[in-house]
Amino acid sequence: MRLVTYENGGGARAGLLDGDTVYDVQGAADAFTAQAGAVGAKLPNDVKALLEMGDVGLGQARRVLGFARERGSGADYAHSATEVSLLPPIQQPGKIICLAGNFADHIREGGDEPPEKSQQTPRFFWKPNSVLVGQNQPVRLWDMSANVDWELELAAVIGTAGRDISAEDAPKHVAGYTIFNDISSRDLDLPWERQEREMDDYFDWLNGKWFDTHGPMGPYIATADEIPDPHNLAMSLSVNGIERQRGNTGQMIFNCFELIAYVTRILTLEPGDIISTGTPAGVGAAAGASLQDGDLIEGTIERLGTLRNPVVG
């Protein structure tokens, strides 16, 4: 099942993407409930709220999807996917947790050698919700950076809250997976003078992750049952049709479930939280390339579709 948030002139709404059709979750559920003899399936119009219902909510959504398929695309709750805007699948995740240096080849292209896995821990950082944009929505270039990069990543979407989750139990807490592009400003052109201090470079790097629109996500969340092995998915990213990144999620140093186990020793994960798992080699910084006004970024992950975003100066 593929979960989306879409807009069709009436605000953001939860949808079920099926081929070329988007079914409105709430509308289809209401129609299903109104059917004579149907068991009630009241569902919210927000993907995060749907995830908060747990397996019950997703189970009801699957039943509603089957009902909608039987009635076809002529219903008033059915929309052509080409006629709606696909927004970030989750509009306001509680946390967007990202990984630095989780692919050995990406570490090497930056000039370093990755240490033995047993001798390191995941390097997490955060992004604010204001980075999020959806399918075909623009990534904006801002005045404070002239060196803006792409980073294609697999993102796990949390469905069940938990703390101190073991790697073995982690799959039970994942609702599904989506594509995330960790757009990164590699330098900051500060409009003022400053006295240099220790760790300025680190905080400049971190601030370069936070610019508005620098977190494309989507086009949909594929529920976990549709992804038999999240650690064997082909990945590729192109800019203006030229391939820049190619890899596989199996190349991650720490896999999705190990990351969940580590981070929940520190904090509680909640439904709708996003964990973006790092990028393979092929970033622009390694090739002396940067995103420019008019570029088109296309990031593809097997079973998760292609996330397309124009770049606007």
- One domain, residues 69 and 117: no
pLDDT-derived band at 191 (thresholds 50, 70, 90) equals confident
Per-residue pLDDT tens over the stretch 26-84:
999 999 988 856 666 789 999 999 999 999 999 999 999 999 999 887 899 999 999 99
What is the pLDDT at residue 115? 85
What is the pLDDT at residue 192? 84
What is the pLDDT at residue 138? 98
What is the pLDDT at residue 4? 98
Number of domains in the chain: 2
- One domain, residues 182 and 58: no
What is the pLDDT at residue 51? 98
Tokens of 75: 């219903």
- One domain, residues 61 and 113: no
Any residues with CB less than 8 A from the CB of 159 and at least 6 apart, and which? Answer: 51, 54, 58, 173, 174, 175, 176, 224, 271
Beta bridge partners of 103: 252
Query: What is the domain range of residue 52?
Result: 2-86
> Is residue 112 pLDDT above 70, yes or no?
yes
- One domain, residues 289 and 180: yes
- One domain, residues 165 and 260: yes
- One domain, residues 126 and 21: no
Tell me the C-alpha distance between 67 and 75, whole Å.
11
What is the pLDDT at residue 223? 98
> Is residue 178 pLDDT above 70, yes or no?
yes
Give the CATH number, domain containing residue 221: 3.90.850.10
What is the pLDDT at residue 36? 58
> Is residue 190 pLDDT above 90, yes or no?
no
> Is residue 12 pLDDT above 90, yes or no?
yes
What is the pLDDT at residue 74? 85
Of 54, 86, 118, which closes a domain? 86
- One domain, residues 74 and 125: no
- One domain, residues 32 and 158: no
- One domain, residues 146 and 288: yes
pLDDT-derived band at 10 (thresholds 50, 70, 90) equals confident
- One domain, residues 80 and 95: no
- Count the alpha carbons within 13 Å of 180 in the hemisphere toward its beta carbon: 29
Give the 3-state DSSP-derived string for the chain, with helices as H, strands as E and coil as C: CEEEEEECCCCEEEEEEECCEEEEHHHHHHHHHHCCCCCCCCCCCCHHHHHHCHHHHHHHHHHHHHHHHHHHHHCCCEEEHHHCEEECCCCCCCCEEEEECCEHHHHHHCCCCCCCHHHCCCEEEECCHHHEECCCCCEECCCCCCCEECCEEEEEEECCCECCCCCCCHHHHEEEEEEEECCEECCCCCCCCCCCCCCHHHHHHHHCCCCCCCEEEEEEEEEHHHCCCCCCCEEEEEECCEEEEEEEHHHECCCHHHHHHHHCCCCCECCCCEEECCCCCCCHHHHCCCCCCCCEEEEEECCCEEEEEEEEC
Of 70, 86, 102, which closes a domain? 86
> Is residue 167 pLDDT above 90, yes or no?
yes
Of 36, 69, 86, which closes a domain? 86
- One domain, residues 278 and 207: yes
Closest by Cα among 75, 88, 91, 59 to 23: 75
Compute how many other C-beta atoms are within 10 angstroms of the C-beta atom of residue 302: 14
